[in-house]
A and B are shown apart, each in its own frame.
Chain A
Amino acid sequence: SQQGEEDPQALSIQEGENATMNCSYKTSINNLQWYRQNSGRGLVHLILIRSNEREKHSGRLRVTLDTSKKSSSLLITASRAADTASYFCATDGGDSSYKLIFGSGTRLLVRP
């Protein structure tokens, strides 16, 4: 089974609009994280939400977590062209190694 599937796979919005990306997972988790990847580059950590948290904010980012539905969402408000990137959710699988299991990502394009 797949862990950490995002939807939509691709999202194109106008600068200033909000972007919402969703992630679903299958196993129990300790926490869920969102990462950003610019084309061909490394992964940049955005935000971590623990399994006992429901919502978290960081600047223009808002993350929600529903452990009963095994799903999370990432909202980017007032998007900018510089937000254009791929966004991945990653879960830690709930085991002791804390390895990350990544979803397939959402490619966000913010049009100026």
Chain B
Amino acid sequence: EPEVTQTPSHQVTQMGQEVILRCVPISNHLYFYWYRQILGQKVEFLVSFYNNEISEKSEIFDDQFSVERPDGSNFTLKIRSTKLEDSAMYFCASRTSSGGPKNIQYFGAGTRLSVL
């Protein structure tokens, strides 16, 4: 069964460093998302991406964050200068197209980011 894959599973970085989290969405999907979950808290929406551009972003997604789909398969989240409060589990998700059951989003297993 097709699945969303994320790498790495765990990333440890020093405060102020740049990190890139990688995702390979399901191949025929058109809409891509990043969410994060701080330990013990809700899953929060960060950004949605469609047709090679951001379609919506949350207040969390400030200038330190960027997303890119550099080729036909990868979807990346970059954090330019990490802060301690960026420590969280980051989930990538994808779905086929709009409407009804096609709004089911399929999630990757997540990347645990630890900022020291």
Task: Give chain A's interface residues, CB within 8 Å of chain B.
Answer: 30-31, 33, 35, 40-45, 48, 50, 88, 90, 92, 95-105
Contacts and interface: CB of A to CB of B under 8 A. Distances in A.
A105 B89 CA distance: 16
B98 interface: yes
Contact of B104 (A33, A88, A96, A102): A33
A33 B101 CA distance: 10
A41 B110 contact: yes
Contacts of A30: 99-100, 103
B43 A44 contact: no
Contact of A98 (B31, B44, B107): B31
Q: Classify chain B: how many residues form its interface, as a range.
A: 20 to 34
Given A98-B31, A99-B48, A92 B43 contact: no
A48 B43 contact: no
Contacts of B98: 96, 98
A48 B91 CA distance: 20
Nearest to B44: A102
B91 A98 contact: no
Given A98-B95, A101-B45, A48 B108 contact: no
A28 to B, nearest CB: 15
A30 B43 CA distance: 19
A99 B107 CA distance: 13
Closest 10 CB pairs of A and B: A97-B56, A42-B109, A102-B43, A43-B107, A97-B48, A99-B45, A42-B107, A98-B103, A97-B55, A104-B42
B75 interface: no
A43 B103 contact: no
Given A42-B91, A50-B100, A88-B43, A100 B108 contact: no
Contact of B33 (A88, A96, A99): A99
A99 B56 contact: yes
Given A98-B95, A102-B43, A103-B42, A31 B100 contact: yes
B103 A92 contact: yes
A48 B101 contact: yes
